[in-house]
A = this chain, B = another copy of it.
């Protein structure tokens, strides 16, 4: 962890990737916490979503995404996609000589700090839940914690369509969350970057005592810590944000603003090496 990189690397950008634009919720938190830092974001909108695809394919896509960032000289790689963090983190860590941060570990740590009864619920895409990555991350730190995991695949399209307060979303939310009621969880981990936008609705539907953990915020804190400990923090200036997408539609730009909380100033079309025939 304490690899000392050359001084100049402090000025290098942070690299973040996701299957699409949901990872911008992590960027949003980083922009607040690390306003001096430059950020390169890659969203693989040409092949999204990852959450319904197979582990082998997610691994291949994630390595290509990480290469795209690494070739642009980033000082740290943030895997802001729960499906990729669940299936490909070890491969990315062993493939690139920079620190690599996923979204699973920081969320799991925060959930363990929050829980009193040791009963934690986890929601995510099919790929994330079936990976068992959250169970592993939680159990590794506390063998006695009880975990209830539930895939909630309709949340991503509902969020992308802006159905945040719709009665249909409330019904689907009720259906998905009912598994947690007999279990008596006191902490719910949001295992997907899209889900923080449904947090207000979930708070209404869950018992008051249930604390909701947003992995996007926790991941940004973890990035701050790693940069600080490795003496990689940029100290001055106002950081830029460059967004690369492998496919661009007007909808992506609109939704990007919703996730980011600001209007993105620069969106570029990116060509993965795979696409260069």
Is A238 engaged at the interface, CB distance under 8 Å to the other chain? Answer: no
Could you tell me the distance in whole angstroms from the C-beta of A60 to the nearest C-beta in chain B? 9
Is A126 engaged at the interface, CB distance under 8 Å to the other chain? Answer: yes
Could you tell me the distance in whole angstroms from the C-beta of A201 to the nearest C-beta in chain B? 13
Scan residues 156-182 of chain A and give those whose CB is less than 8 A from a CB of chain B. 156-158, 160-161, 163, 166-169, 171-172, 175
Q: In the complex, which of the residues A153, A166, A168 has the most CB atoms of chain B within 10 Å of its own CB atom?
A: A168
Segment among A49-57, A110-118, A183-191 that sits at the interface with chain B = A49-57
Could you tell me the distance in whole angstroms from the C-beta of A11 to the nearest C-beta in chain B? 33
* Cα of A251 to Cα of B55 in the assembled complex, Å: 13
* Cα of A251 to Cα of B126 in the assembled complex, Å: 9
Evaluate contact between B46 and A57: CB separation under 8 angstroms. yes
* Cα of A172 to Cα of B170 in the assembled complex, Å: 12
Which B residue's beta carbon lies closest to that of A249? B54
Is A47 engaged at the interface, CB distance under 8 Å to the other chain? Answer: yes
B residues within 8 A CB of A53?
45-46, 247, 249
Task: Take A57-B46, A168-B172 as given contacts and tell me if A249 and B158 are in contact as well, using a CB distance cutoff of 8 Å.
Answer: no
Is A143 engaged at the interface, CB distance under 8 Å to the other chain? Answer: no
* Cα of A248 to Cα of B171 in the assembled complex, Å: 30
Evaluate contact between B154 and A158: CB separation under 8 angstroms. yes
* Cα of A160 to Cα of B49 in the assembled complex, Å: 14
* Cα of A154 to Cα of B171 in the assembled complex, Å: 15
User: Per a CB cutoff under 8 Å, which of B158, B175, B274 touches A277?
Assistant: B274
Could you tell me the distance in whole angstroms from the C-beta of A18 to the nearest C-beta in chain B? 15
Evaluate contact between B157 and A167: CB separation under 8 angstroms. no
* Cα of A276 to Cα of B169 in the assembled complex, Å: 41
12 A–B contacts from the bound complex (CB under 8 Å): A45-B53, A46-B57, A53-B247, A57-B247, A126-B249, A154-B157, A156-B157, A157-B157, A166-B171, A168-B169, A171-B171, A274-B275
Chain A residues with CB under 8 Å of chain B are: 45-47, 52-54, 57, 126, 153-154, 156-158, 160-161, 163, 166-169, 171-172, 175, 247-249, 251, 274-275, 277
| Sample of 12 more A-B contacts, CB < 8 Å, known A154-B157, A154-B161, A274-B275 | A52-B251, A53-B247, A53-B249, A54-B248, A126-B249, A153-B160, A153-B161, A157-B157, A163-B172, A166-B172, A168-B175, A171-B171
